[in-house]
A and B are shown apart, each in its own frame.
Chain A
Amino acid sequence: MIALEPRQRLAWHQPLLASAGAGVAALLLVAIPIASAGVPLGEAYRLMAAGAFGSVFALSETLTRATPLMLTGLAAAVAFRAKLWNIGGEGQLYAGALAAVAVGSGALAGPAPLLVALVLLAGALAGALVMLGPAWLKMRFGADEVVTTLLLNFVIILFVQMMLEGPLQDPMGLGWPQSPPIVDEAALPPLLARTRLHAGLYVALAAALAVWVLLNRTVLGFEMRAVGENQAAARFAGIAITRTMLVTALISGALAGLAGVGEVAGLKGYLTADLSPGFGYAGIVVAMLAGLSPLGVVVAAVFIAGVFVGADSMSRATGVSNYLADLVVATALLCVLIGGFLTRFRVRLAARAGG
């Protein structure tokens, strides 16, 4: 007989342990597919670690990858805190990217700081606007936001394709479905010579700090937490549920939109329909690994990015499919769920059977 006892109080380190444990467990579990692909395990893990963190360049690649993950992770964390299930980070990211190229690829001219700010603002607004739809449908009609945000992801990517074959197609692009390049004044500047690291990282770190302040230090954050933890009590206490949810939705969408801006204005320089390899979905994993804590998101994003970069590098060397990275990410999500369970409950084997 297995008995579960809820733990009365959590020590501060227990959630951290759950997250770290989940990451490690996920890495260990993929030993099975690696071994079945016929690659020596020690070699595989060594290659992964070296590929992700083994050199300045590796590290810069990991941080470059972590930049959009931090932002989509924050988007998920903010929404999930208020129990708003925004699974549409992917679509909001594309919306942000689309807005960035619409504004930043020559439509407007101006000095660099102004144009960069405008591009960031446009991307955030576009992401927020996309999230406004599901939020409104939820408030007005009670339509489940999980399904609407998920379905909108497909709609938005199709819309981006349409734009890239239409009004936003690069006239110099030889007919490829891609946007004209971001002008230099609108681009997020590179941070380190001979790497792809760009100022989007600062945007992401600043966003994490801002979200932390929002959640822990402001009235709005207080209300978001109350609504998320117990909506009935929040309503009874006089917190405006609809408004709080709406603001949460807008902030969440804006954060994901910023991720898209970083990818086009900092990394790629132009927009294609395969801009994101699922950053929106991976953001959910980042948020959960971080225990929905905004500062934890930074660490979790670096970890997940390291997995992606490391797996890519190992894949090139050994031929193991780089879908291994997605496998680690998915496993980490399920492991952190279980880890959270183990911190909340003490599992006890009851030797004495009663009755």
Chain B
Amino acid sequence: MEILDILLTVNFWSASIRIATPLIFGVLGALLCERAGVLNLGIEGIFTAGAMAGWMAVWAGAGLWQGVAVAALAGAVFGLLHALLTVPLGLSQHVSGIGVTLLATSLSYFVYRTALPDVTSPPRIEPFRALDLPLLSDLPFVGPVLFQQTALTLLAFACAGILAWILYRTPLGLALRAVGDNPSAVEAQGLSVYALRIGAVTAGSALMALGGAFLTMSAFDAFFFGMVNGRGWICIALTVFASWRPGKALLGALLFGAFDAFQVRLQTEVGAVVPSQVFLMLPYLLSIAALVIVARRADYPRSLLQPWFRGQR
């Protein structure tokens, strides 16, 4: 079977990881927010803002890593907005998140249009190149799959490890896991619920924006309208699938990437008889399926969506 042969090619696995990279950033970011008890539906817009801001910084002359920093900052700003509305003010996390998505998306488009009023084909930048690490990149199979990716992909993997360390090995992580379960427990131990939640949402949003930056600075080399295309929403579904654990988040994103890479290759095999839209639908349907499978036994952070006010217990 040639279809199964696909699974053995370097090309397929390399593509899987490339597709997974923005999702790894997104799921980790969403996970961090939700672990602290805040659903961040701003993710779709924050992806867009990260993609636009990072790209535009580089286009305007900044270095690639400076562009990454700009993207993270843009994400953090929108995250902070969402955090201020939902944490101290305790407003609806659903509505605020949708609002942040609308705002971040429209502001990104507006800024792009205003800076580049007349362009017809999007200008390009020189994106991140594939790494060439001594020894590692030359390993058979593993080398090209893992170590000939761009630096942002390795950063995504590193973020998963770092986030896992923070959550399970540091006092901060202990406090974050506690605040997502019972904010009053955290307050009674003398820690600030607001600081923890605002910090988590801001940092998580910066991570999400890196997912967007990967799109314009690594996967592609330009910014297009609508390029995020639901990736943020997919991350929200994958976060539930990953039971809010960084390791499983990594795994979930990679599985998703593998499936997506597989369907693209399948499309070239049977594309003549099945309309291309069917394949394009698959990632969304897969996300819904992933959500449905785990929904019943999902161990939601107990205080997710619950506003908490000081002095009201």
Consider the complex of A and B and state whether they touch directly, i.e. have CB atoms less than 8 Å apart. Answer: yes
Binding site for B on A (CB under 8 A): 4, 33, 36-37, 85, 87, 137, 141-144, 146-148, 150-155, 158-159, 161-162, 165-166, 281, 284-285, 288, 319-321, 323-324, 326-327, 329-331, 333-334, 337-338, 340-341
B85 within 8 A of A: yes
Asked whether A341 lies within 8 Å of B98 as measured between CB atoms, the reply is: no
Using known A-B contacts A151-B284, A329-B102, A338-B89, determine if residue A144 contacts B240 with beta carbons closer than 8 Å: yes
Asked whether A151 lies within 8 Å of B237 as measured between CB atoms, the reply is: yes
B247 within 8 A of A: no
Q: How many residues of B contact A (CB 8 A)?
A: 44
Asked whether A323 lies within 8 Å of B110 as measured between CB atoms, the reply is: yes
Asked whether B277 lies within 8 Å of A161 as measured between CB atoms, the reply is: yes
Of residues B114, B240, B285, which shows the largest number of chain A Cβ atoms within 10 Å of its Cβ? B114
Using known A-B contacts A144-B240, A144-B291, A144-B295, determine if residue A319 contacts B117 with beta carbons closer than 8 Å: yes
B238 to chain A, nearest CB (A): 10
Query: Known pairs A143-B292, A151-B230, A321-B114. 7 more at Cβ < 8 A?
Result: A147-B240, A150-B230, A151-B288, A152-B288, A327-B103, A331-B103, A337-B91
* Majority SS at the chain B contact face: helix
Bound-state CA distance A316–B248 (Å) is 50
Partner of B98, one of A33, A284, A338: A284
CB-based nearest A residue for B91: A337
Using known A-B contacts A148-B288, A150-B233, A152-B288, determine if residue A327 contacts B89 with beta carbons closer than 8 Å: no
Sample (24) of A-B pairs whose CB atoms are under 8 Å apart: A4-B309, A37-B114, A143-B288, A143-B292, A144-B291, A147-B233, A150-B230, A152-B284, A154-B229, A154-B230, A158-B281, A162-B275, A165-B275, A321-B117, A326-B106, A327-B107, A330-B102, A330-B106, A330-B107, A331-B103, A334-B85, A334-B96, A337-B91, A337-B99
B59 within 8 A of A: no
Bound-state CA distance A154–B295 (Å) is 21
Partner of B237, one of A147, A285, A338, A340: A147
B94 within 8 A of A: yes
B280 within 8 A of A: yes
Partner of A330, one of B41, B91, B99, B236: B99
Q: Give per-residue flags for B283-313: 1 if the beta carbon is below 8 A from chain A beta carbons, else 0.
A: 0110110011001101000000000010000
Q: Give per-residue flags for B220-238: 1 if the beta carbon is below 8 A from chain A beta carbons, else 0.
A: 0000000001100110110
CB-based nearest B residue for A2: B88
Partner of A159, one of B277, B291, B292: B277
A81 to chain B, nearest CB (A): 13
Q: Give per-residue flags for B5-49: 1 if the beta carbon is below 8 A from chain A beta carbons, else 0.
A: 000000000000000000000000000000000000100000000
Asked whether A36 lies within 8 Å of B106 as measured between CB atoms, the reply is: no
Bound-state CA distance A285–B95 (Å) is 9
Q: Which residues of A contact B95 (CB under 8 A)?
A: 284, 288, 333, 337
A280 to chain B, nearest CB (A): 11
Q: Which residues of B contact A147 (CB under 8 A)?
A: 233, 236-237, 240, 287-288, 291
B170 within 8 A of A: no
Asked whether A137 lies within 8 Å of B292 as measured between CB atoms, the reply is: yes
A208 to chain B, nearest CB (A): 21
B278 within 8 A of A: yes
Q: Which residues of B contact A152 (CB under 8 A)?
A: 284, 288
Bound-state CA distance A42–B81 (Å) is 29
Asked whether B103 lies within 8 Å of A146 as measured between CB atoms, the reply is: no
Q: Which residues of B contact A337 (CB under 8 A)?
A: 85, 91-92, 95-96, 99
Asked whether B295 lies within 8 Å of A323 as measured between CB atoms, the reply is: no
CB-based nearest B residue for A83: B94
Asked whether B94 lies within 8 Å of A85 as measured between CB atoms, the reply is: yes
Asked whether B230 lies within 8 Å of A158 as measured between CB atoms, the reply is: no
B141 within 8 A of A: no
Question: What 8 pairs across the A-B complex have the smallest Cβ distances?
Answer: A326-B106, A330-B102, A321-B113, A330-B103, A162-B277, A333-B99, A323-B110, A143-B295
Bound-state CA distance A186–B260 (Å) is 42
Q: Which residues of A contact B91 (CB under 8 A)?
A: 337-338, 340-341
CB-based nearest A residue for B296: A142
Q: Which residues of A contact B229 (CB under 8 A)?
A: 154
Q: Which residues of B contact A326 (CB under 8 A)?
A: 102, 105-106, 109-110
A20 to chain B, nearest CB (A): 18
Q: Give per-residue flags for B200-224: 1 if the beta carbon is below 8 A from chain A beta carbons, else 0.
A: 0000000000000000000000000
Bound-state CA distance A143–B94 (Å) is 15
B292 to chain A, nearest CB (A): 5
